[in-house]
A and B are shown apart, each in its own frame.
Chain A
């Protein structure tokens, strides 16, 4: 049993003192680049067994992608009343890290598989593609008035877009090696703005790996750490660059987008391959900034770990994609 097991057991004694939970198995879950996850099986005094997912921050100063665990906990807590999609049932939160070693959310482990795995296994992923599209269209229909007050609410679409492009300007100041690309791309993005669309909840890591499907019940959308209020087309753009096969957008972009338009009511002028391309640039801002910050931290006393140099390639890949988008849409 991992050292996390005994810690989790002590945590359970605090949050569920009457149930006398015993951790009978605890193992790390590999995969994912941001949080540390583990799966733990717990046996309660009454004989009931339950399996939980523990999702915590990596140790301070390590890792590449940072996000706010308090904000994620708060969001996960309200999502069931705000969104039509199913989300992980959260149970407890070690908000100080006192018990689990770092701030960590404990949620039910769903008996489900990744939609990405299902797509890879399927000969024809058409119906799974529809499921994926419909699921994220539903995410984008989330009621914003029920989301946590701490989530930033841009006043309107133009202000939101201006804010994102201004963010790129600040990144250019901070990270000179990317500045020429950002200078070119933001100028292009300002002069080629697509038609506006209603702001909505953006998941921020839209990919089938973050949708779990089980033998029954609705799909479960996980990993909300980068969720924000923005232009939902960011999720579509973001997904186009996910390199895991199959990427069902690229199988048939027109079919994918037709389905999305039908589910959301957005027009073809608003959602088409060109606007999706455009919103790849917009949707990558926060993650790209974190990649650049991690690369800049290499060699510092608190090294961010091997993921930072490994993902320098991802920065180059983004540069390449951004310029290609400018070329295609010019």
Chain B
């Protein structure tokens, strides 16, 4: 496998081609807008390509730790089932589809855990969930290489 340039570098190079070589030659305003949007999507994809597996695995571990803590105090059948569904996913695979599948299941377990914490009125657990959500959104913001509204 040719490892360098890395995927994010390849995508970045395509972005540069679009911006520097193709965009200036386009005169149709609608096509120009679509190209600018496309370039933004590609830049975001480059950020994701560089980090998304690590980010998802790290967050999966944190979400599951939270779910386990809630389960120990306010366990419910839906929460236990959601946690079991995570464990049914291949834990060691680094293929993107597997990591994504496990991450989504962990998100569902986290949601069930948060619901249980809310139902129990467990303020400390709700606050902990809020911190995890903050962390999740901080990651989403890193993916937003830029958020500039074009075409409005």
Hey, which bits of chain A sit against chain B, CB under 8 A? 28, 30-33, 172, 176-177, 179-181, 183-184, 187, 209, 243-244, 306-307, 309-310, 312-314, 316-317, 319-320, 323, 326-327
With A30-B30, A317-B144, A323-B137 given, is the CB distance from A306 to B38 under 8 Å?
yes
Is B133's beta carbon under 8 Å from chain A?
A: yes
Say whether A30 contacts B33, CB under 8 Å: yes
Q: What are 13 A-B residue pairs whose CB atoms fall within 8 Å in the complex? A: A30-B30, A32-B151, A177-B104, A179-B111, A180-B111, A209-B152, A243-B148, A306-B34, A310-B37, A310-B38, A312-B41, A320-B140, A323-B130
**Which of B40, B104, B143 contacts A316, CB < 8 Å?**
B143
With A184-B133, A187-B118, A319-B137 given, is the CB distance from A306 to B37 under 8 Å?
yes
Minimum CB–CB distance from A307 to chain B (whole Å) comes to: 7
Say whether B44 contacts A313, CB under 8 Å: yes
Say whether B136 contacts A180, CB under 8 Å: yes
With A184-B129, A323-B130 given, is the CB distance from A307 to B149 under 8 Å?
no
Say whether A176 contacts B137, CB under 8 Å: no
> With A and B bound together, what is the CA distance between A181 and B111 in angstroms?
9
Residues in A with CB closer than 8 Å to B136 are 180-181
Minimum CB–CB distance from B95 to chain A (whole Å) comes to: 17
Is B141's beta carbon under 8 Å from chain A?
A: yes
**Which of A30, A32, A306, A312 contacts B29, CB < 8 Å?**
A30
Residues in A with CB closer than 8 Å to B140 are 316, 319-320
Residues in A with CB closer than 8 Å to B40 are 310, 313
Say whether A326 contacts B130, CB under 8 Å: yes
Residues in A with CB closer than 8 Å to B133 are 180-181, 184, 323
Q: Which of B126, B130, B148, B152 has the most CB of A within 10 A?
A: B152
> With A and B bound together, what is the CA distance between A312 and B42 in angstroms?
12
**Which of B104, B126, B147, B152 contacts A31, CB < 8 Å?**
B152
With A316-B143, A316-B144, A326-B130 given, is the CB distance from A183 to B107 under 8 Å?
no
> With A and B bound together, what is the CA distance between A317 and B37 in angstroms?
16
Say whether A323 contacts B111, CB under 8 Å: no
> With A and B bound together, what is the CA distance between A209 and B34 in angstroms?
21
Is B51's beta carbon under 8 Å from chain A?
A: no
Known: A30-B30, A180-B110, A184-B114. 16 other contacts (CB 8 A): A28-B30, A30-B33, A30-B151, A177-B107, A180-B136, A181-B133, A183-B111, A183-B114, A183-B118, A187-B114, A209-B152, A313-B44, A313-B147, A319-B137, A320-B141, A326-B130
Minimum CB–CB distance from B117 to chain A (whole Å) comes to: 10
Is B94's beta carbon under 8 Å from chain A?
A: no
